[in-house]
A and B are shown apart, each in its own frame.
Chain A
Amino acid sequence: MLSIVVFISLFVFSTGLFLLNANKIRKNIRLGRDVNRSDKPLTRLKTMVLVALGQKKMFTRPIAAFLHLALYVAFVITQIELLEIIADGITGKHRMFYFSLGDFYVFMVSFIEILSVLAFVATVAFLWRRNMLSLPRFNKAELLGWPKKDANLILIMELVLIVFILTMNGTDEVLYNRGGSHVAYAKGSFGFSISAWLGPLVFDSFNVETLRVFERIGWWGHISMVFLFLNYLPYSKHLHVLLAFPTTYFSNLQAKGKFSHMKSVENEVKLMLDPNAIPPESDAPPGRFGAKDVADLTWKNLLDAYSCTECGRCTDVCPANNTGKLLSPRKIMMDTRDRMVEVGELKKGVVDNKSLLGDYITPEELWACTSCNACVEACPINIDPLAIIIDLRRNLVMEESAMPSELAGMLTNIENNGAPWQFSQSDRLNWAKEE
């Protein structure tokens, strides 16, 4: 009875806390400007299925993709076992689905166990890769400190999670052998693929009482880790396990070369070109040109920032970053998220004197971008760092007139003679007369 009370309290508390934090995230994302991403629902669904569910873009790097796939499939399929654990926890029973599902139950747990072992191997490989191999993208400036710890912490939590579940099943197998299992009173074996042999191998020297204690440690340990993990997500880059789905669903479906259209500028330019033009009434007055802070970005930019798992594939292919420039598309996403969290924590009506542009992202980073779209192409979940870079550039240029002097000259040339260089428009066809 006590265990039921403890379990339900834990369950309610951790789910409640998660929902509370999820709501904070939702509110933070809604700080952003609106952008319409509700067209073509079928194409969007297809993109989500291929890119998020099917992990299509992961496979440009096959080894990492297979390791990631092992973790991912294990994570998804284990949710079935989690349902049983929750049902057991609420009713105080053991392996509730065992009798109703019969052979299928054994098959299912066996399958989960194999996936768990694969996930274990993948996690160890990831830890080794992150900490032993000196891969440049895991050692860039923006990853030092908390982000690196965050990544390792997640991997270690996964290992602990798997150890707990194999402890639970392994001790239960030994108990079954000795006729002491909670569910099966005859002597024998469940026949679970891994713990049927791993259990006896590890726990055979334990007596029945100790086995029972360890079985419970496995059970409670596993579910506690799940609750812990759930509530760690909102503070971690690992949020991508959930947000990859909306992020890919709301992907930019237009040509990557198309930069967003600024309606607010269109109205002003129309008035400039034709003083008799009537400004549209319904349009709100333009707030700010381009983005200085997170609230000037779109909600999709902000969703992207929360979904980024800091894998660094974007930075790895960035021509500017590759040649030693300050720009790192991953840092753009991390800065956007960190600033958004900071803004979200301000009390209502309070403004700090900070902004994304300047306090987090410097003009030098922005001016290093060649807008080549390599980062957008490389992102396994279609995050678009370029959209943020350009919106910040717009603010520098249109609000602050702050740009490299050569660009100021280039813009003057375009305005005066219709070309980025100092050539007269009347000479445009001279080439046709030259030999």
Chain B
Amino acid sequence: MRLNVPTMSEMMAKGETPEILFWVGCAGSFDDRAKKITKALVKILNHCKVSFAVLGTEESCTGDPAKRAGNEFTFQMQAMMNIQVLDGYDVKRIVTGCPHCFNTLKNEYPELGGKYEVIHHTQLIQDLINTGKLGLEGSQTYKGKKITFHDPCYLGRANDVYEAPRALIEKLDAELVEMKRCKTNGLCCGAGGAQMFKEAEKGNKEINIERTEDALESKAEIIATGCPFCNTMMTDGIKNFNKENDIQVLDVAELIANAAEL
């Protein structure tokens, strides 16, 4: 299926305004694994005929990793430039494919004048299902499969979104199994706070290995996440245990797109 990905500038040229901006994020734009998540989400948006657009080459890093790393200058430079672009297109609603972009746009941009309604893609998909735009009835793809959800810190504890991704997994007619540390007690994958971009400090174990052990213990066949960085960390963890043939790591958007056979 060919993806229909309109950009804001194209829409503007046609005199149209999309209902929602899809903020793809750096991982979703450049990382080979995360690009698949981006495409899965676009398939869902196309299928449900959601009026959306992306910024395309006008999108730039939100500044999240700079802020977490302690460089407020770089963060604010990025934020102010992005706000100019967003306000230039009169953006009101944003959906992100990444909890880090989600958190930064939602919580940290308002102080600099960027005030938007920001939702995570799991929340948007939940809304599409609830309003009947997306149906998964009778889907056999994940029926009865054991799926666990790894809470991304910036979605869960940081923004108290715990239910949307779980509600989606339940729509798959799958068996949602929880890891011993989940929801508010969820263990980080190890990527947050700009750790993704550096070697871990000296210790006796990698955090993603510790988290993968939790996932293996849950006996899940699929580890679902809602964050491209968690996805990388968990995928690496599974490889470390040579379990890549037994356990898949998938984003909730991918699960839904697969189940709806998009």
**What residues on B are CB-neighbors of A390 within 8 Å?**
68, 70
Which secondary structure dominates where chain A touches chain B?
helix
Task: Determine whether the beta carbon of B77 is less than 8 Å from that of A255.
Answer: no
Given A273-B77, A371-B68, A372-B192, A319 and B187 touching (CB < 8 A)? Answer: yes
Q: Do A393 and B29 have beta carbons less than 8 Å apart?
A: no
Are B61 and A414 in contact (CB-based, < 8 A)? Answer: yes
| CB proximity of B233 to chain A, nearest CB, Å | 10
CB-based contact B57/A428 at 8 Å: yes
B72→A265 contact, CB < 8 A: yes
A324→B203 CA distance, assembly (Å): 4
**A261, CB-defined interface residue at 8 Å:** yes
Closest partner residue, chain A, to B76 (CB atom): A269
* Contact yes or no, A425 B60, CB < 8 A: yes
Tell me if A414 and B74 are in contact (CB < 8 A): yes
User: Do the beta carbons of B39 and A429 come within 8 Å of each other?
Assistant: no
CB contacts (< 8 Å) of B188 on chain A: these are 319, 370, 372, 374
A320 to B203, Cβ gap below 8 A?
A: yes
User: Is there an interface contact between A372 and B210, defined as CB atoms closer than 8 Å?
Assistant: no
* Also in contact, A258 and B107, with CB within 8 A (given A269-B76, A323-B204, A403-B69): yes
Task: Report the minimum CB–CB distance from B50 to chain A (whole Å).
Answer: 16
Among B194-202, B217-225, B251-259, the stretch in contact with A:
B194-202
> In whole angstroms, how far apart are the Cα atoms of A409 and B192 in the complex?
17
> Which A residues are CB-close (under 8 A) to B70?
290, 390, 393-398, 403
Whether the Cβ atoms of B111 and A269 lie closer than 8 Å is no
Do residues B73 and A398 form an inter-chain contact, with CB atoms below 8 A? yes
Measured in the bound complex, the distance between the Cα atoms of B77 and A273 in whole Å is 8
Given the known interface contacts A323-B210, A396-B70, A432-B5, the answer about A370 and B190 at a Cβ–Cβ threshold of 8 Å is: yes
Q: Are A323 and B205 in contact (CB under 8 A)?
A: yes
Q: Which of A346-395 contact B (CB under 8 A)?
A: 364, 367-374, 376-377, 390, 393-395
Kindly identify which residue among B184, B187, B201 contacts A368, using a CB–CB cutoff of 8 Å: B201
In the complex, the answer to whether A429 meets B54 with C-beta atoms within 8 Å is yes
Identify the interface centre among A290, A326, A393, A431: most chain B CB within 10 Å of its CB: A431
Asked whether any CB of chain B lies closer than 8 Å to the CB of A317, the reply is: yes
The interface on chain A, measured as residues whose beta carbon lies within 8 A of the other chain's beta carbons, has a size of: 68
Residues of A within 8 A of B173 (CB): none
B80 touches A410 (CB 8 A): no
Q: Residue B11 at the A interface, CB < 8 A? A: no
CA–CA, A270 and B188, complex, Å:
35
Most buried by B among A325, A371, A403, A414: A414
The residue in B112, B185, B195, B196 that gathers the most chain A C-beta atoms within 10 A of its C-beta is B195
Q: A420 to chain B: closest CB distance in Å?
A: 5
Q: Are B153 and A420 in contact (CB under 8 A)?
A: no
Bound: A323/B193 CA distance, A:
16
**Are B199 and A398 in contact (CB-based, < 8 A)?**
no
Q: B21 → chain A, closest Cβ, in Å?
A: 14
Given contacts A255-B107, A323-B210, A415-B77, contact A370 B191 (CB under 8 A): yes
Tell me, in angstroms, the Cα distance from A406 to B184 when the chains sit together: 31
Inter-chain contact total with CB atoms closer than 8 Å: 217
Q: A418 touches which one: B72, B76, B78, B106 (CB < 8 A)?
A: B78
**When the two chains form their complex, are residues A398 and B77 in contact, meaning their CB atoms are under 8 A apart?**
no
Docked-complex contact A367 and B5, CB < 8 angstroms: no
Q: A261-B108, A414-B65 are in contact. Are A429 and B210 (CB under 8 A)?
A: no
Which single member of A60, A256, A258, A410 contacts B194 (CB below 8 Å)? A410
Task: A429 to B58: give the CA distance in the assembly, Å.
Answer: 9
Q: Evaluate contact between B207 and A319: CB separation under 8 angstroms.
A: yes
CB closest residue in chain B, given A258: B107
B-side contacts of A323, CB under 8 Å: 200, 203-207, 209-210
Across-interface contacts of B81 in A (CB, < 8 A): 273
Contact (Cβ within 8 A) B112 A429: no
Pick from B5, B59, B108, B153: contact of A372, CB below 8 A: B153
B201 in contact with A326 (CB, 8 Å): yes
**Bound CA span A162–B53, Å:** 70
Residues on the A chain within 8 Å of B29, using CB: 419, 423, 427-431
Q: What string of 1s and 0s marks CB contacts (under 8 Å) between A249-260 and chain B?
A: 000001111110
Q: Mark B158-178, 1 if CB is under 8 A from A, else 0.
A: 111000000000000000000
Min Cβ gap B183→A in Å is 10
Say whether B35 faces chain A, with CB atoms less than 8 Å apart: yes
A272 close to chain B: CB less than 8 A: yes
Contact A377 B157 (CB under 8 A): yes
B56, CB-defined interface residue at 8 Å: yes
B7 within 8 A of A: yes
On whether A411 and B71 interact (CB within 8 A), knowing A258-B108, A368-B201, A421-B30, the answer reads yes
Q: Within 8 Å of chain B (Cβ to Cβ): is A103?
A: no
Q: Apart from A269-B80, A432-B42, list 7 A-B contacts with CB within 8 A.
A: A323-B205, A406-B199, A410-B65, A411-B69, A414-B61, A420-B65, A421-B30
A-B contact pairs, 23 of them (CB 8 A): A255-B103, A255-B159, A256-B158, A257-B153, A259-B108, A262-B72, A268-B73, A319-B211, A322-B187, A325-B200, A326-B202, A370-B195, A373-B153, A376-B157, A394-B70, A410-B198, A411-B69, A414-B74, A418-B60, A428-B30, A431-B24, A431-B28, A432-B5
Give me the interface of B with A, judged by CB distance under 8 Å.
3, 5, 7, 24, 26, 28-30, 35, 38-39, 42, 54, 56-57, 59-61, 63, 65-74, 76-78, 80-81, 103, 106-108, 111-112, 153-154, 157-160, 184-188, 190-207, 209-211
Taking Cβ atoms with an 8 Å cutoff, the residues of A that contact B are 60, 254-259, 261-262, 265-266, 268-270, 272-273, 289-290, 317, 319-320, 322-327, 364, 367-374, 376-377, 390, 393-398, 403-404, 406-407, 409-411, 414-415, 418-421, 423, 425-432, 434
